[in-house]
Amino acid sequence: MRVAFLTAPEGVEEIELTRPWKAVLDAGWSPRLVSTEPGTVQAMRHLDKAGTYAVDRVLTGRTDESFDALVLPGGVANPDALRVSEAAVAFTRAFFEAGKPVAAICHAPWTLVEADVVRGRTLTSWPSLATDIRNAGGTWVDEQVHICRAAPATLVTSRNPDDLDAFCAALVKVFGD
Protein backbone atom coordinates (compact mmCIF):
# COMPACT_ATOMS: atom_id res chain seq x y z
CA MET A 1 0.00 0.00 0.00
CA ARG A 2 1.28 3.46 -0.94
CA VAL A 3 0.35 6.18 1.54
CA ALA A 4 0.65 9.87 0.69
CA PHE A 5 1.63 12.26 3.49
CA LEU A 6 0.61 15.71 2.28
CA THR A 7 2.43 18.72 3.72
CA ALA A 8 3.23 22.31 2.89
CA PRO A 9 6.90 23.27 2.44
CA GLU A 10 7.07 24.40 6.06
CA GLY A 11 5.10 24.30 9.26
CA VAL A 12 4.18 20.63 9.62
CA GLU A 13 4.26 19.45 13.25
CA GLU A 14 7.19 17.02 13.22
CA ILE A 15 5.79 14.37 15.53
CA GLU A 16 2.49 14.36 13.63
CA LEU A 17 4.48 13.50 10.50
CA THR A 18 7.06 11.09 11.91
CA ARG A 19 4.90 8.94 14.22
CA PRO A 20 2.23 8.10 11.61
CA TRP A 21 5.04 7.62 9.04
CA LYS A 22 6.63 5.03 11.35
CA ALA A 23 3.25 3.34 11.87
CA VAL A 24 2.83 3.05 8.08
CA LEU A 25 6.35 1.64 7.71
CA ASP A 26 5.78 -0.81 10.59
CA ALA A 27 2.63 -2.03 8.81
CA GLY A 28 4.81 -2.89 5.81
CA TRP A 29 3.47 -0.10 3.61
CA SER A 30 5.22 2.58 1.57
CA PRO A 31 4.88 6.19 2.78
CA ARG A 32 5.65 9.06 0.39
CA LEU A 33 6.06 12.72 1.28
CA VAL A 34 3.98 14.84 -1.08
CA SER A 35 4.26 18.63 -1.04
CA THR A 36 3.35 21.68 -3.05
CA GLU A 37 7.02 22.45 -3.76
CA PRO A 38 10.13 20.35 -4.49
CA GLY A 39 13.09 19.97 -2.16
CA THR A 40 12.55 19.55 1.55
CA VAL A 41 9.83 20.17 4.09
CA GLN A 42 10.71 22.15 7.23
CA ALA A 43 9.06 20.50 10.22
CA MET A 44 8.33 22.26 13.50
CA ARG A 45 8.15 21.42 17.19
CA HIS A 46 5.33 23.78 18.03
CA LEU A 47 6.88 27.16 17.10
CA ASP A 48 10.51 26.02 16.86
CA LYS A 49 12.19 24.63 13.75
CA ALA A 50 12.83 20.89 13.83
CA GLY A 51 14.04 18.47 11.16
CA THR A 52 13.79 18.68 7.40
CA TYR A 53 12.41 15.90 5.23
CA ALA A 54 12.92 15.21 1.52
CA VAL A 55 9.88 15.56 -0.73
CA ASP A 56 9.14 12.42 -2.76
CA ARG A 57 6.45 13.88 -5.00
CA VAL A 58 5.43 17.41 -5.94
CA LEU A 59 1.75 18.11 -6.45
CA THR A 60 0.64 19.05 -9.90
CA GLY A 61 -2.84 19.93 -11.06
CA ARG A 62 -3.74 16.26 -11.41
CA THR A 63 -4.59 13.50 -8.98
CA ASP A 64 -2.03 10.79 -8.45
CA GLU A 65 -4.02 7.58 -8.50
CA SER A 66 -1.03 5.51 -7.42
CA PHE A 67 -1.76 6.25 -3.75
CA ASP A 68 -4.09 4.07 -1.69
CA ALA A 69 -4.53 6.34 1.35
CA LEU A 70 -3.79 9.86 2.58
CA VAL A 71 -2.41 11.20 5.86
CA LEU A 72 -2.73 14.90 6.67
CA PRO A 73 -0.37 15.82 9.52
CA GLY A 74 -1.11 19.00 11.46
CA GLY A 75 0.77 21.96 12.78
CA VAL A 76 -0.89 25.35 12.52
CA ALA A 77 0.96 26.73 9.48
CA ASN A 78 0.92 23.49 7.45
CA PRO A 79 -2.84 23.07 6.87
CA ASP A 80 -3.30 26.83 6.65
CA ALA A 81 -0.90 26.85 3.68
CA LEU A 82 -2.43 23.73 2.13
CA ARG A 83 -5.95 25.13 2.21
CA VAL A 84 -4.96 27.96 -0.15
CA SER A 85 -3.25 25.60 -2.59
CA GLU A 86 -5.69 24.56 -5.34
CA ALA A 87 -3.54 21.49 -6.06
CA ALA A 88 -3.50 20.38 -2.40
CA VAL A 89 -7.25 20.87 -2.02
CA ALA A 90 -7.96 18.97 -5.25
CA PHE A 91 -5.57 16.18 -4.23
CA THR A 92 -7.32 15.84 -0.87
CA ARG A 93 -10.81 15.91 -2.37
CA ALA A 94 -9.84 13.23 -4.91
CA PHE A 95 -9.20 10.68 -2.14
CA PHE A 96 -12.76 11.14 -0.89
CA GLU A 97 -14.22 10.98 -4.39
CA ALA A 98 -12.31 7.73 -5.02
CA GLY A 99 -13.44 6.22 -1.71
CA LYS A 100 -9.88 5.98 -0.37
CA PRO A 101 -9.24 6.33 3.38
CA VAL A 102 -7.93 9.57 4.85
CA ALA A 103 -6.43 10.35 8.28
CA ALA A 104 -6.03 13.89 9.67
CA ILE A 105 -4.73 15.12 13.01
CA CYS A 106 -4.80 18.39 14.97
CA HIS A 107 -5.23 21.40 12.63
CA ALA A 108 -5.18 19.25 9.46
CA PRO A 109 -8.99 19.25 9.09
CA TRP A 110 -8.68 22.83 7.82
CA THR A 111 -7.64 21.26 4.52
CA LEU A 112 -10.71 18.99 4.68
CA VAL A 113 -12.96 22.01 5.28
CA GLU A 114 -11.49 23.75 2.22
CA ALA A 115 -11.92 20.58 0.14
CA ASP A 116 -15.63 20.58 1.14
CA VAL A 117 -15.53 16.98 2.38
CA VAL A 118 -16.68 17.35 6.01
CA ARG A 119 -20.38 17.90 5.27
CA GLY A 120 -22.37 15.11 6.91
CA ARG A 121 -19.30 13.70 8.67
CA THR A 122 -18.35 13.52 12.33
CA LEU A 123 -14.75 14.31 13.20
CA THR A 124 -12.44 15.61 15.87
CA SER A 125 -9.54 18.06 15.69
CA TRP A 126 -7.72 20.70 17.69
CA PRO A 127 -10.60 22.42 19.54
CA SER A 128 -10.21 25.78 17.76
CA LEU A 129 -11.40 24.16 14.50
CA ALA A 130 -14.80 23.13 15.94
CA THR A 131 -16.64 26.16 14.55
CA ASP A 132 -15.01 25.80 11.12
CA ILE A 133 -16.05 22.15 10.97
CA ARG A 134 -19.62 22.93 12.05
CA ASN A 135 -19.85 25.81 9.55
CA ALA A 136 -18.72 23.39 6.81
CA GLY A 137 -21.59 21.02 7.67
CA GLY A 138 -19.72 18.56 9.86
CA THR A 139 -20.22 17.48 13.44
CA TRP A 140 -17.30 18.12 15.80
CA VAL A 141 -16.65 15.81 18.76
CA ASP A 142 -14.03 16.03 21.49
CA GLU A 143 -12.57 12.52 21.31
CA GLN A 144 -9.05 11.08 21.27
CA VAL A 145 -9.71 9.54 17.88
CA HIS A 146 -12.83 9.35 15.75
CA ILE A 147 -13.48 7.07 12.78
CA CYS A 148 -16.21 8.27 10.43
CA ARG A 149 -17.27 5.66 7.90
CA ALA A 150 -19.61 7.94 5.93
CA ALA A 151 -19.55 7.07 2.23
CA PRO A 152 -17.66 7.24 0.07
CA ALA A 153 -14.44 7.36 2.15
CA THR A 154 -13.50 6.49 5.72
CA LEU A 155 -11.98 9.35 7.71
CA VAL A 156 -9.80 8.96 10.82
CA THR A 157 -9.29 12.11 12.88
CA SER A 158 -7.52 12.96 16.12
CA ARG A 159 -7.07 16.06 18.30
CA ASN A 160 -3.37 16.55 19.00
CA PRO A 161 0.04 14.89 19.54
CA ASP A 162 -1.10 13.44 22.89
CA ASP A 163 -3.50 11.25 20.87
CA LEU A 164 -0.89 9.85 18.48
CA ASP A 165 -0.93 6.29 19.85
CA ALA A 166 -4.69 6.00 19.25
CA PHE A 167 -4.46 7.88 15.93
CA CYS A 168 -1.71 5.64 14.55
CA ALA A 169 -3.49 2.44 15.67
CA ALA A 170 -6.74 3.61 14.08
CA LEU A 171 -5.21 4.65 10.77
CA VAL A 172 -3.34 1.35 10.45
CA LYS A 173 -6.56 -0.57 11.15
CA VAL A 174 -8.66 1.51 8.75
CA PHE A 175 -6.05 1.60 5.99
CA GLY A 176 -5.56 -2.17 6.30
CA ASP A 177 -9.29 -2.97 5.95
Length of the chain: 177
Alpha-carbon distance of 174 to 79, in angstroms, equals 22
Q: Check: CB of residue 118 under 8 Å from CB of residue 137.
A: yes
Contacts of 125 (CB under 8 A, 6+ apart): 104, 105, 106, 107, 108, 109, 133, 140, 157, 159
Catalytic residues: 106-107
What are the backbone angles phi and psi of residue 87, rounded to the nearest 5°?
Answer: -65, -40
